[in-house]
Amino acid sequence: MAVPQGVVSAAERESFRRDGWLIQRGVLSSARLAQLQRWVDVVTDWAELVGGGPGMHHFEQTDAGPRLARSEDLVPNHAGLRAFISEGQLLDTVGGLFGEPAVLFKEKINHKQPGGAGFAPHQDAPAYRFVDHHISCMVPLDPSTRTSGCLWVARGHGAGVLPMDPERHGCIAQDVVDSLEWVPVELLPGDLLWFDSYLPHRSETNRSDRSRRAMYLTYNALQQGDHRERYYADKRREFAAAGDTFGGERVRISVNDDFLGRPAAQAPAPRRRPVQDLFDRYEGPDALQLYDEAVTELSHGLQCAELAAAEGAPPAWIAAALLHDVGHLLIGDLFPIDEDLPKDFQHEEVGARYLERWFDAEVTEPVRLHVAAKRYLVTRRPGYFDTLSPSSVRSLAVQGGPMSEAEALAFEALPGHEGAVKVRIWDDLAKDAEARCRPFSAWTLLLTALVQG
């Protein structure tokens, strides 16, 4: 039976207090799981973006080659993940376990691909600063079994920080490890595992033929402050100074030296399936969200491509028109028109870097510059602002507003700015709720030719 949203029973609180962990079975719906899995696929794409995508990403060497091991610092760059992690059900539930309101401390995804390493017995508390007590939630996105490297836990959280291995910060001393009674925690997608930051836990190598992806979301009591930004600022600075390994032997993905993964000689090669990848995104449910007042993201992109083709635009500009907003599908920042935008998520930059894996600058630069082109046209063309839809006016406010004269001159000197201006004009026109367009598959040959070229 699913646990009601945000409700923790007295029995569950007592179980958590006694054991240091709590399993809630079947909490998340299949629709929510499918959404989370799509979002995690997006995060995987971030790790492959040219120049490095949003967030922090760590890689390990497996027998099958380098693989993505962990992604973290995600919520500033993905609106959907931020809402799931920082609001509603999870926040209410962890507040129930604390007995007071809570706030997000940090978030990560352990991808644990086939052959992905496990973690030595450890406690999280030595790696978490600023606050002396945290509670984490494991959200499995794939079956977490003994074969796939599930967590093993042991009682002992009530003793605080246990004696540590003098050679491995955060790892529990071997004699203490041997004295503990370890229990495997096997979970299915939809389950949640809550655990205390002093809980001894470990995991083994993923010996299955599929990933064992899981989100790990850590919270602290709100009254102890919001330390998330400081935590990641410190971590980035320390990793930059210390390098990505512990002595060249193990990957540095935590302040603790508990991960057993081997350092990767290089990042994994990007997955080379561009047209199918794009088709999956534009034919998937996220593209059916409303782009603005009247049209979906899919309809908007298709209309842009039709307008470009009708003008006899070169193939690269047609592709840029079709794909100019792919960043929205990567970030999940499509907000209802009656909501204020919290920030500029820079979907144009994320989208361009995603497309750079396959397309050259004739496609990617108009995508990268189409937001700047709006700001430019507001400055250069009298009356242009009055033609903008309410959603474009709303986004302009967080995108920097009209360009200054110096900014406009600099924009005119950029390679690709002409294509960006054309894409922007088609963008403004492609908001007809009654428009009839060819399907995304109609553009397969054009996209394939551009990739191969």
Rounded to 5 degrees, φ, ψ at 271 are -65, 125
CB 160 within 8 A of CB 198: yes
Q: Tell me, yes or no, whether 211 and 304 share the same domain.
A: no
Average pLDDT, integer, range 173-195 = 96
The domain containing residue 170 runs over which residues? 10-251
Residue 126 falls inside a structural domain? yes
Q: Tell me, yes or no, whether 220 and 293 share the same domain.
A: no
- Residues paired with 363 in a beta bridge: none
What's residue 407's pLDDT? 96
CATH of the domain at 360: 1.10.3210.10
**CA-CA-CA-CA torsion for 80, 81, 87, 89, nearest 10 degrees?**
100
CB 44 within 8 A of CB 68: yes
Q: Tell me, yes or no, whether 215 and 354 share the same domain.
A: no
Q: Tell me, yes or no, whether 44 and 92 share the same domain.
A: yes
Question: For the chain, what is the domain count?
Answer: 2
Q: Tell me, yes or no, whether 237 and 282 share the same domain.
A: no
Least confident of 11-25, 68-82, 321-335, 435-449: 321-335
Over 70: is that where the pLDDT of 80 sits?
Answer: yes
What's residue 3's pLDDT? 44
Residue 95 falls inside a structural domain? yes
Q: Tell me, yes or no, whether 332 and 226 share the same domain.
A: no
**Residues 353-393 pLDDT 10s:** 889 888 999 999 999 999 999 999 999 999 999 998 888 88
Residue 143 falls inside a structural domain? yes
C-alpha closest to that of 141 among 57, 211, 59: 211
Q: Tell me, yes or no, whether 308 and 219 share the same domain.
A: no
More confident residue, 50 or 169: 169
Q: Tell me, yes or no, whether 383 and 421 share the same domain.
A: yes
C-alpha closest to that of 416 among 453, 372, 385, 354: 372
Q: Tell me, yes or no, whether 71 and 145 share the same domain.
A: yes
CATH of the domain at 102: 2.60.120.620
Q: Tell me, yes or no, whether 119 and 162 share the same domain.
A: yes
Whole-prediction pTM: 0.74
Chain mean pLDDT for the chain: 90
Over 70: is that where the pLDDT of 453 sits?
Answer: no
Percent with pLDDT over 90 in the chain: 67
C-alpha closest to that of 48 among 304, 261, 277, 313: 277
Residue 260 falls inside a structural domain? no
What's residue 1's pLDDT? 35
Least confident of 53-62, 92-101, 139-148, 291-300: 291-300
Residue 262 falls inside a structural domain? no
Q: For residue 337, name the pLDDT band (cuts at 50, 70, 90).
A: low
Over 70: is that where the pLDDT of 183 sits?
Answer: yes
Q: Tell me, yes or no, whether 246 and 278 share the same domain.
A: no
Q: Tell me, yes or no, whether 243 and 370 share the same domain.
A: no
**CA-CA-CA-CA torsion for 30, 36, 39, 44, nearest 10 degrees?**
-110
